[in-house]
Structure 1
Amino acid sequence: MSSLEENKLLVTERKILRKILGPTQTEEGIWRRRKNKELEDLVAESNIIGEIKAHRLCWLGHVERMGEDRAVKRAYLAVPSGRRPVGRPKYRWKDEVEKDLCDLRVDDWRETAQDRPKWRLLLSEAKTHFGSSRYPTN
């Protein structure tokens, strides 16, 4: 997921939260929209990016534990034949997940995925790592 896509998701999330939480009234009695920091303070959960990446890792662990005869596992492990057109290489789901695991500094993820309690711990760590700052300042 590119940073442009991530930014669009965060903007949409903030827009929805502003609708849900509504405006706030100042001491002078003037109504105003909530600022990003106020939204971050009110909502104590990870942002949508952390949730997406954690769910993606959750699915990776599920696929890794599957039997080799399952269609999903065969598709995951398959190497397509043929050539791609000239140009920038297309990103694959597998590449994005491996980048997330690299960001988490996880080396032996295949081994960890076999142990469900350890994998769940990794998923909770991913939520806090990727969703720690709800609204990054640019």
Structure 2
Amino acid sequence: MTKAQKRRMDVTEMRMLRWICGKTMLDMIPSSVFRENLKVRSIVDKLREERLRWFRHVRRRPLTAPVRRVEALTVDGVRRRGRPTRRWEDRIKLDLKELILTEDMTSNRMAWRARITIDE
């Protein structure tokens, strides 16, 4: 997800939260007030949590599982010019770094769930 996409998701989410509460931007109420009243987390944080849940699921699969075999798959050919697009694997590495996690932690389900869950 790019910064622009993240910003658009945040804006859209806040528009929906304001709409649920029956308020507009003209009411000049901070975004944090809506989050506290509705007891919701950021959609971007929720996406990261779900990404890491899937990562744990994939890591616990045997190496012969199709999901694990695709990870090791390499595609021959010439890459396009310019900056490479961000892969799922790259995003996971950044998420693990942000939350100070390692791949070894995926074996303990309860500890992993506790570390990736973002509280209100």
TM-score between both structures, scaled by the size of structure 2: 0.85
- State the Cα distance separating 1:34 from its structure 2 match: 4.3
Aligned residue number for residue 116 of structure 1: 109
- Asked if residue 8 in structure 1 is aligned to residue 8 in structure 2, the reply is yes
Q: Which moved more, 1:60-69 or 1:32-41?
A: 32-41
Q: 1:64 to 1:120 in 2, by over 3 A?
A: same
Question: How far, CA to CA, are the matches of 1:113 and 1:77 in structure 2?
Answer: 19
Question: Superposed, which structure 2 residues align to 1:42-61 within 5 Å?
Answer: 42-61=37-56
Report the AA paired with residue 117 of structure 1.
M
Indicate the structure (1 or 2) with the bigger Cα radius of gyration: 1
Partners of 1:89 and 1:32 lie apart in 2 by: 43
Percent identical: 27
Unmatched 5+ residue regions in structure 2?
none
Q: Contact (CA 8 Å) 2:49, 2:116: kept in 1 or not?
A: yes
| 1:94 equivalenced with 2:101 (yes/no) | no
Q: Deviations over 1:60-100 (max 9, x none)?
A: 00000011121111112323222311211121110011011
The count of residues paired between Structure 1 and Structure 2 equals 119
TM-score (norm 1): 0.75
Distance 2:32 2:47 in 1: 22
Q: 1:45 to 1:10 in 2, by over 3 A?
A: same
Q: Is 1:36–2:31 an aligned residue pair?
A: yes
Query: Of the candidates 72, 75, 78, which is equivalent to residue 70 of structure 2?
Result: 75
- In the aligned structure 1, how far is the partner of 2:103 from the partner of 2:23? 47
Mind listing any 5+ residue stretches in structure 1 that lack a counterpart? Answer: 25-30, 133-138
Measured in 1, the distance between the counterparts of 2:13 and 2:63 equals 38
